[in-house]
Amino acid sequence: MRYTRISVAGRAVWGTVGEEEIELLSGSPLEQHPVDVIGSVPRAEAHWLPPVVPPVFYAVGMNYPRHIKHAGAPFPQRPEVGYRANNALTGHGSPIVKPAGVEGRFEAEPELVAVIGRTLRHATRDEAREGIFGWTIGNDISARTWQHEDRTFWRSKNSDTFKPMGPWIETDVDALAQTTTLRVNGEVRATFPTGDMVFDPFDFIVEITRHITLQPGDVLWMGAESVCQLEPGDTVEVEISGIGVLSNPVHLEGNHH
């Protein structure tokens, strides 16, 4: 099943995605009570929102061997997670806005995203696997000069629109057996096996839940093997086979054309 959130008359509504239509739901499938179909909209007319607004937004860095080697960084000895900010989330089709003050590298990173479906604490690997509701796609936008200038990643990673996510949550896929492809203006810039990670999502869930309770709707972004430069006017696509394609135009702040 493919679940998403779209804007209907200015209100966020959950839906299930079909080939032609999105069936609108009376509530969130992440909550335990049943949901009803309350209408539909043509898929072509949908205004896509991030498919979930997470209670907590977890993000993994440096989790693909090739990326770690390219960066000259040490290999991680255990799964450690960071945090990102919900204000940075934006939906499929919405613009990534490059702030006017950004100079230097402005980069995209294509990421698999796990969406948590149940409350987890001290999870085993099996419980971690069962605790994932489904999978979506993230594009981790980074302003590298800011990343090096600041003591934290507060603006380099978390500026508004820097975390496109979507277009939907796919509940029926072996996500780690897929292929991730990054395209800019239709040209392939990177492709890699999605599951070629140092630590997989289940490793991270086991480690996180030793200390922190995961809640339904929390998201875990899994890092990327490759990055590429973006410029205003570009359209960037992240495709993960078996899940879908997340596409966003890149705009310069203050220029809406």
Cα dihedral: 198, 242, 183, 149 (round 10)? -40
Q: How confident is the model at residue 237 (pLDDT cuts 50, 70, 90)?
A: very high
User: pLDDT, tens digit, for every residue of 136-171?
Assistant: 999 999 999 999 999 999 999 999 999 999 999 999
13-22, 25-34, 188-197, 199-208: lowest mean pLDDT where? 25-34
User: pLDDT, tens digit, for every residue of 98-147?
Assistant: 999 999 999 999 999 999 999 999 999 999 999 999 999 999 999 999 99
Chain centroid to CA 93: 14
The mean predicted confidence, pLDDT, of the chain is: 96
DSSP type of residue 19: S
Q: How confident is the model at residue 257 (pLDDT cuts 50, 70, 90)?
A: low
Looking at residue 256, what is its pLDDT?
A: 63
Burial class (CB in 10 A: 0-12, 13-18, 19+), 168: buried
Q: Rounded mean pLDDT of 70-76?
A: 91
Looking at residue 216, what is its pLDDT?
A: 98
